[in-house]
Amino acid sequence: MQRNGKKATDLQIAICGSAGDGTIAAGDMVKRAMARAGYKVIAFDVYPPEIRGFGKCISRVRVTSEQVFSLKPKSDVLISLDDSHAIPHVGEVKDYGAVIYEDMPVTMVPEGGHISGHLLSSHLPYGVPFRELSERVTSSARSRNIAVVGYLAGLYGMPRDVFYAVISDKFKTKPAVLTKMSIQTFDAAFEVGENTFRLDEGVLKPPPKKAKHGELVMMSGNGAIAKGCMDAGLDTFFGYPITPATTIMERLAVDLPKQGKRMLQTEDEISAISAAIGAGYTGARAATATSGPGFALMSEMMGLGTMAEVPVVIFVSQRGGPSTGMPTKTEQSDLNIAVFGAAGDGQRIVLAPTNVEGCYKCAGKAFEIAERYQTPVVVLLDLYLSNRYEAVALPAKNPFAANCSKPVGKLGKDQPYHRYALTRDFISPRAIPGDKGRRHAVTGLEHDENGRPNDHTHEMMSRKRHEKLHSVVRYPGITMSKRFGDKGKVDVAIIGWGSTFGEILEAMIIARDEGIRCAAMKVVLLSPLPMEPINALLADAAEVLVPELNYEGQFANLLTGTTGRAVTRLNRVPGTPMHVEDIVDEIRRLAAKKKGRKALAAE
Amino acid sequence: MSTHSHFVIIGSGGAGSEAALIIRKRDPKCTITQITGSKLPFISRYELPRVFDGVDNWRDLLAHPPEFYDDNAITVRRNSWVDHVDAKNKKVLLRHKEEVSYDKLLVASGGGGYLPEGLREFRPLMNGLGSYEDAVKMRQALPSKGHVIMLGGDMTGLDLARTLVAVGHKVTLVAGEQLFWPHEVEEKKEKKFVTVLEAMGVKVVLGKKVMAIRKGAKGEPARRVVFDDGGGINGDAVMPFCGLMPALDFMIGANVDIERGLLVNPELKTTNDSIWAAGDVCQIWSPEENSYLFYYGWHHIKEMGEIAAINMTGGKKKISTYQDDHLYINKQGDIDSPYWMYR
Ligand SMILES: Cc1cc2nc3c(=O)[nH]c(=O)nc-3n(C[C@H](O)[C@H](O)[C@H](O)COP(=O)(O)OP(=O)(O)OC[C@H]3O[C@@H](n4cnc5c(N)ncnc54)[C@H](O)[C@@H]3O)c2cc1C
């Protein structure tokens, strides 16, 4: 990363090991410490493909002085805690980057099994006796991951105090001796790192400014979802475990009981959504979280939520599909099912945050919106966003409002309460069971204003259910879409959604630095689409590019279907985030195409 | 010739690197693995003095860009030390507990600076110049117009001395037995060469024995060299240049003959049919001298690498064991040597 001609801090570290090596914990310490030190941090962990067992874990942490929006395709540093897992990742270390590894294994290594034999000619090797270092201090190799962190910190001159704080935090519920020994291991390895002659080209300058502790919080996307739920006053949560959504449930299982509230693990996803809708019906703020296969099971009950006009929030973290697909790989292929996937004309509200802070906002606002519009709200995440960590600045004041239902108001004497009353904005005043004098029925059958089954109202009620959603584009306190980059006419507009928007933004910045006039738009509200800003951007753009991680171009289809504008699709399904370079290449190609057309016209 | 043999080369200095390239040219299908303790791809050690002459990035010193090794399908295992060679099973054991099998092995492990016994205990207070890292550390230890005290005075040290003087440092040479090594200079000629050396800007101290090296007192330069007569000199760094010691500990027990170096015939084969040696590590049989001799210097090193490679890949070439390298005074009136003709 260049700023004013000088290299600014931009160090991406990948730690690779086996489940049980403390790989993710090591990455966690690095990201938390760096955020404390005041750097911008973005991180992404990858767990074993098998849910159980000792598979591969990788923790990637990008530390920068300026805000960035995605991980880099190549890391500056690869640390191996298990060579058998790390060897296939050697190629993702950039030229003149560092590979750090154990050089004193306890047992013989099979021929070709040591990572030193797999480095590219441009890599810089750092062999360190981590096991020995850990054993020397703690008489056990278990703190090898802390030795790794200490060495890394020493090698790149990271501030020690922030690591002490993070280690103390990590072991605060354990006997004090554990903290002490961990810090000793850290220090011993730090000294080795500090005295190592550094030959690689990774850049870590002193932090931009010393952050006050607590100002920035390291959070994963799922962590931010859980925090958003809690801050929005979630009353109850029903769920069934599924990667990559499970950690939302796990977090809430800890946090809800602290407020005297309940999380219930149901027997399957159908029960989870049914229970959540049941709770919503009673006036509780209720939610569930799942992934593609679970979401498919929920679609019938989603229809009930729409028809009965019951608020409920469903967090869907996408993974590679269809079917069981690739449980630990990321993808954006559940857009169709989120927007369209239910029987009948069942339009619903779909939000898709693009970063971790967005996860927090969307989670909390989803409850307000579900209540306000009395309908299911789907918050669409994906594995990359769920597991990605970023340093988030949380608002000092809770930004979410309690009870956003349209109040019933005073009814005249003998005036009956109509649960599905037709109003100017198509939103009916909402009562909940038990409200005195507001007795009503809800049903999945088509009904009249009173909730009584009635086929003749279908046209009118269908209109009500659709029309009431339109004003959500202007719902306050949440960004439904946002344009970045050049204003006015542009050669290329890039429109994206979900986690891929980070890569889109990075690509747009690179393209603009190259002199290409371009703008990028993130669309957070995927249903109903915010047509005004989208149409304005399309009108400004000579070429429109839609990069997304699905094979069909689901968002591109949605855009073309609603605007009639042809777009260029960039679809990838590698199971990993989109490469910034791929997007940049496509922007360059489209910009050149536009230039070519201009030249032809001039001739 | 084309085989699917695995050629393993220990060392990525001049000899090993030249050998790898020639083997590849002669045998396009074989596998070549170079194993080296060095962290960096091949940097000629002769180039290290340039670190004091403004070269700031190791990439500027590389003999070949990193792609060169990929293009020639040469795997260089860096930061890997050989601990032992199991000649019977044709395996090389690396310090990190990995065995590497070979069909043919070339030992080109060079040598480290020799340190006379009396100086060994002072090693932590001295700076070496075996690697790029050493050179940078040394440069960092030197203030501008710093004072370097050199001990011994072999040709490697004198090469550095002339660079240091040229960039404004002061060099004092406490001459030892190894003055002008590996050249053997007659006593009467030595005086003349010393005078020229002084004219080149190197202060030469003759006839003093070093008894100790100490840290400098507060406010004084960082080091003090103490002589047997109680006197001494202060300087910012002390560097020993007392000749070379072949690096071959790992060959002990490998069933090959060793004297000071690995003994090889003029075809550079050791007493084991699958093992060759080249460079500073080997002592070559000279029928003219009827003894095993070391052949130092850039042109010898390169030639040894080439000949070993030719013979390992089925050729038959002997090295010329006639030595005619001598010290002389060049047109500019400076000391010069075939040993320095590498640039
Ligand atoms: C500062 C300096 C200046 C010099 N100047 C000159 C000069 O001007 N002219 C001149 O002719 N000569 C000069 N020399 C000497 C010259 O460098 C050597 O003669 C030459 O480098 C020898 O080449 P080599 O390939 O035999 O060994 P080296 O270049 O020493 O290479 C040996 C290799 O073996 C590796 N190695 C050693 N032991 C092991 C092990 N156990 N396991 C794995 N790898 C191992 C090392 O890491 C290294 O890669 C100079 C030397 C130095 C240090």
Atom 30 in ligand 1: residue holding the nearest Cα: B110
Contact between chains at B136 and A117 (C-beta distance less than 8 A)? no
In whole numbers, what is the pLDDT of chain B averaged over residues?
A: 93
Contact between chains at B96 and A109 (C-beta distance less than 8 A)? yes
Residue A595 DSSP symbol: H
Q: Is the CB of B135 under 6 A from ligand 1?
A: no
Q: Is the peptide bond before B116 cis (omega within 30 degrees of 0)?
A: no
**Cα B132 from Cα B161, distance rounded (Å):** 17
* Among A108, A124, A126, beta carbon nearest to B97: A108
pLDDT surpasses 90 at A71:
yes
**Set of chain B residues whose Cβ sits within 8 Å of the Cβ of A107:** 97
pLDDT surpasses 80 at A85:
yes
**Looking at the domain assignment, is residue B340 inside a domain?**
no
Instruction: Examine the domain organization and report whether B137 and B166 are in the same domain.
Output: yes
**Looking at the domain assignment, is residue A474 inside a domain?**
no
pLDDT digits (tens, 9 = 90+) for B139-164: 998 999 999 999 999 999 999 999 99
Contact between chains at B75 and A117 (C-beta distance less than 8 A)? yes
Residue labelled with tokens 């101290």: B205
Task: Give the rounded distance of the alpha carbon of A122 from its chain centre.
Answer: 34
Nearest to B151 by CA among B243, B28, B48: B243
pLDDT digits (tens, 9 = 90+) for B65-113: 999 999 999 999 999 999 999 999 999 999 999 999 999 999 999 999 9
Instruction: Examine the domain organization and report whether B123 and B208 are in the same domain.
Output: yes
Q: What is the pLDDT of residue A214?
A: 47
Total residues belonging to chain A: 603
Q: Is the CB of B298 under 6 A from ligand 1?
A: yes
Domain residues for B140?
115-242
Residue A29 host element (H or E): helix A23-37
pLDDT surpasses 50 at A213:
no
| pLDDT band at residue A186 under the 50/70/90 scheme | very high
pLDDT surpasses 90 at A98:
yes
pLDDT digits (tens, 9 = 90+) for A542-597: 999 999 999 999 999 999 999 999 999 999 999 999 999 999 999 999 999 877 87
Instruction: Examine the domain organization and report whether A168 and A227 are in the same domain.
Output: no
Mean pLDDT on A334-354: 94
Q: Is the CB of B12 under 6 A from ligand 1?
A: yes
Burial class (CB in 10 A: 0-12, 13-18, 19+), A589: middle
Instruction: Examine the domain organization and report whether A98 and A187 are in the same domain.
Output: yes
Token pair, residue B28, equals 């396009």
Instruction: Examine the domain organization and report whether A365 and A493 are in the same domain.
Output: no
Q: What is the pLDDT of residue B298?
A: 81
pLDDT digits (tens, 9 = 90+) for A110-165: 999 999 999 999 999 999 999 999 999 888 878 899 999 999 999 999 999 999 99
Q: What is the pLDDT of residue A484?
A: 97
**Set of chain B residues whose Cβ sits within 8 Å of the Cβ of A114:** 94, 96, 98
Q: What is the pLDDT of residue A596?
A: 81
**Looking at the domain assignment, is residue A199 inside a domain?**
no
Instruction: Examine the domain organization and report whether A171 and A220 are in the same domain.
Output: no
Phi, psi angles (nearest 5°) of residue B92: -110, 130
**Set of chain A residues whose Cβ sits within 8 Å of the Cβ of B137:** 197
Q: What is the total count of domains within chain A?
A: 3
pLDDT surpasses 60 at A51:
no
Mean pLDDT on B221-243: 95
Q: Please answer whether residues B73 and A128 qualify as being in contact, where contact means their C-beta atoms are separated by less than 8 angstroms.
A: no
**Looking at the domain assignment, is residue B324 inside a domain?**
no
pLDDT surpasses 50 at A52:
no
CATH number at residue A94: 3.40.920.10
- Chain A within 8 Å of B76 (Cβ-Cβ)? yes
* Among B69, B98, B136, beta carbon nearest to A109: B98
**Cα A142 from Cα A46, distance rounded (Å):** 21
Nearest to A492 by CA among A566, A544, A540, A559: A544
Residue A88 contacts by C-beta under 8 Å, 6 or more apart in sequence?
A: none
**Looking at the domain assignment, is residue B29 inside a domain?**
yes
Contact between chains at A114 and B94 (C-beta distance less than 8 A)? yes
Instruction: Examine the domain organization and report whether B74 and B220 are in the same domain.
Output: no
Q: What is the pLDDT of residue A580?
A: 95
Q: What is the pLDDT of residue A602?
A: 79
Domain ends where: B183, B215, B242?
B242
Instruction: Examine the domain organization and report whether B213 and B140 are in the same domain.
Output: yes
Domain residues for A65?
2-194
Q: Please answer whether residues B78 and B38 qualify as being in contact, where contact means their C-beta atoms are separated by less than 8 angstroms.
A: yes
Q: What is the total count of domains within chain B?
A: 2
Q: Is the peptide bond before A433 cis (omega within 30 degrees of 0)?
A: no
Q: Which residue of A has its CA nearest to B92?
A: A111
**Cα A579 from Cα A71, distance rounded (Å):** 9
Instruction: Examine the domain organization and report whether B237 and B139 are in the same domain.
Output: yes
Q: Which of B33, B36, B40, B45 maximizes ligand 1 atoms within 8 Å of its Cβ, making it the mutation to test the pocket?
A: B45
Range list of β-strands (E), A365-507: 376-382, 388-392, 481-485, 490-496
**Looking at the domain assignment, is residue A443 inside a domain?**
no
Q: Is the CB of B279 under 6 A from ligand 1?
A: yes
Q: What is the pTM of this model?
A: 0.88
- β-pairing, A124-128 with B282-286? unpaired
CATH number at residue A559: 3.40.50.920
Q: Is the peptide bond before B182 cis (omega within 30 degrees of 0)?
A: yes
Q: Is the CB of B114 under 6 A from ligand 1?
A: no
**Looking at the domain assignment, is residue A31 inside a domain?**
yes
**Set of chain B residues whose Cβ sits within 8 Å of the Cβ of A103:** 79, 95-96
What burial letters (b/e) apply to A134-163, b meaning 16+ CB within 10 Å? bbebbeebebbbbbbbbbbbbbbebbbebb
| Lowest mean pLDDT across A57-61, A537-541, B50-54, B258-262 | B50-54
CATH number at residue A248: 3.40.50.970
| Upper half-sphere CA count for residue A48 (Cβ side, 13 Å) | 14
- Here the ipTM equals 0.92
Instruction: Examine the domain organization and report whether B231 and B170 are in the same domain.
Output: yes
Mean pLDDT on B277-287: 95
CATH number at residue B203: 3.50.50.60
CA distances, B108 to each of A369, A397, A592, B23, B35 (Å): 74, 69, 54, 14, 10
Q: Please answer whether residues B158 and B327 qualify as being in contact, where contact means their C-beta atoms are separated by less than 8 angstroms.
A: no
